[in-house]
Amino acid sequence: QVHLVESGGGLVQPGGSLRLSCAASGSISSINYMGWYRQVPGKERDFVASMGREGSTNYKMSVKGRFTISRDNAKNMVYLQMNSLKPEDTAVYYCHCFGVVLSSASSGPHEYWGQGTQVTVSS
């Protein structure tokens, strides 16, 4: 079984910064894509950023230039540095892994989600 645990959320003023971390644990051989989604109550979960195992990145247009995603493949961790935060960035942020290859022979899902961490941007 694979588990994702996020940390680093909190309350920050507009223009401030936060760094989110996510640790993936379990019998993992490799993870093709690690990234972040966010969700506001009553809305669909929305893509924020992702990073491939070899370093390719994708960002939601509204966060480009403000957010930076990074990952440590040896530790199965992914990070999201969020700068110049805006009130509209307020959401629950979820860690996401796609294309997970398990070390064990047993079959399992290729996609996993964390429990979410709250980010609130307010003065």
Per-residue confidence (pLDDT) for residue 108, from 0 to 100: 75
Q: What is the pLDDT of residues 65-113, one digit of tens each?
A: 999 999 999 999 999 999 999 999 999 999 999 999 998 876 778 899 9
CA 95 to CA 65: how far, in whole Å?
20
CA 30 to CA 43: how far, in whole Å?
31
Q: Do 21 and 79 meet the contact criterion of CB atoms below 8 Å apart?
A: yes
CA 28 to CA 82: how far, in whole Å?
27
Strand partners, 46: 38
What's the DSSP call for residue 62?
Answer: G
Confidence of residue 15 (pLDDT cuts 50, 70, 90): very high
User: How much is the mean pLDDT over the chain?
Assistant: 96
- DSSP H helix total and E strand total for the chain: 0, 11
CA 84 to CA 5: how far, in whole Å?
25
